[in-house]
Amino acid sequence: MQNLYEVHKILTYPRTDSRYISDDVVPTLPERLRSVMIDEYAPLARQIMTRRPLQTRYLVNNAKVSDHHAIIPTEEQVELWRLSGPERNIFDLVARRFLAVLLPPFEYEEVSLKLIIDGEAFHAKGKVVKELGWKAAYDRSFDLEEDTDEEEREQSLPDLKQGDKLSVLSVRINPGKTAPPKRYTEATLLTAMEHPAAQVKDKDQSKILEETGGLGTPATRADIIEKLFSAFYIERRGKELVPTSKGIQVVGLAPADLRSASLTAQWEKRLGDIAQGKEREDAFVGEMKGYASHLVAEVKASDATYTHDNVTREKCPDCGKFLLSIKGKRGKLLVCPDRECGYRRSVTQTTNARCPNCHKKMELRGEGDKQLFACVCGYRERLSDFKKRRESKSAGKGDVRRYLQQQEQRQDSGNSAMAEQLKKWLEQNK
């Protein structure tokens, strides 16, 4: 995102947590819409431009914009072919949200059904979509109603009237268990760090945390999560973040004060008092030094110990200690427990390469010339063979020229966005 702002200049300032724009940005929205009127975004941008005036009442709020407004496209003309894969994905997220907030509401008709059978009440719900509205900016896999039961969300009900009598064809009991709270994903954890007030019982402390912006800042929260990954305190399973054995033990060994958001609230209050002249800065700094010394002494005096439960029988080639098996953010690793040694070796890497048989993501295993892709379906392929297969499938310059000639021969349409990008690609690769 920093590249999109600084190098390509197609997104506004990225280090902001604001979700609104100010009044002075509204006149620039038509020009920003024209800048994203390309590729798959063009039909949506045109649809918005034809409906004047633009509906901005849900996204303009001067009171909720401090130094920087929400992240939106700039007036700079976007050239998607210049973007790398990750840059393209980030731009897609921002562009679609920018278009979605300017599109009309999503309209649907909800049918609620209540049946009485032998004095017992049974309920059902169904939806009939009337107007896609802002959801047209996303594909069908996107749905904000994650907590809604899938069967209830998708089902449609027949035409019914109040007082209808229906025949009961069958009755069955489905045994089930109450589900525990969902684990955090990176997105929900960032939100919890931004709004940690729910984790604090004291109302005054909750208010302080909300006013001061929560734990960390918009620029540091993602980095904090990255450090948890790099220290192997958490790992990802699908979208969920799961604590490792190391992470659970470290939390247990840490002093209780450091595990609570209340401590942040207390310090934020005192920093606020210093800013208002109610407390002296040197007194606070002296107290912090004493508090840190007390915590260190408490840890040293503790008889609690940390034990590795992921030790392998393979020795470190540098220092001879037994290596630890770690599941990192991008795959499995063997890591030396000695920090001064620092040896680590990749065992498997999670990749975006798709299996030609089942189309699932494959793992990259091994090192050097012995590296190979492996899929859960049993498919195996050497890295060198995989590269050859990809190269044979990629289009050459001759294929691109032939495609462009076919486009020029068509009289019924102008040059497509893809054709324009291919022309630029040819010019660069002459």
Q: Got the DSSP string for 237-305?
A: ETTEEEE-HHHHHHHHHS-GGGG-HHHHHHHHHHHHHHHTTSS-HHHHHHHHHHHHHHHHHHHHH----
| Residue 13 annotated among the catalytic residues of the structure | yes
User: What is the Cα–Cα distance from 89 to 85, expressed in whole angstroms?
Assistant: 6
Q: Is 23 in contact with 60 (CB distance < 8 Å)? A: yes
Task: Using CB atoms within 10 Å of the CB of residue 265, give its burial: 0 to 12 exposed, 13 to 18 middle, 19+ buried.
Answer: buried
3-state helix, strand, coil in the chain (%, to 5): 45, 15, 40
> Which residue matches tokens 């899929």?
375
**Cis amide prior to 243 (ω within 30 degrees):** no
Q: Out of 5, 13, 20, 379, which one is annotated catalytic?
A: 13
The sign of the dihedral angle between the CA atoms of 8, 12, 17, 19 is negative
- Cβ contact 381:372 at 8 Å: yes
Alpha-carbon distance of 321 to 339, in angstroms, equals 11
Beta strand 107-117 with 234-237 is unpaired
Radius of gyration of the chain (CA): 28
Q: Which of 403, 399, 397 is nearest to 418 (CA)?
A: 403
- Residues carrying an active site annotation: 13
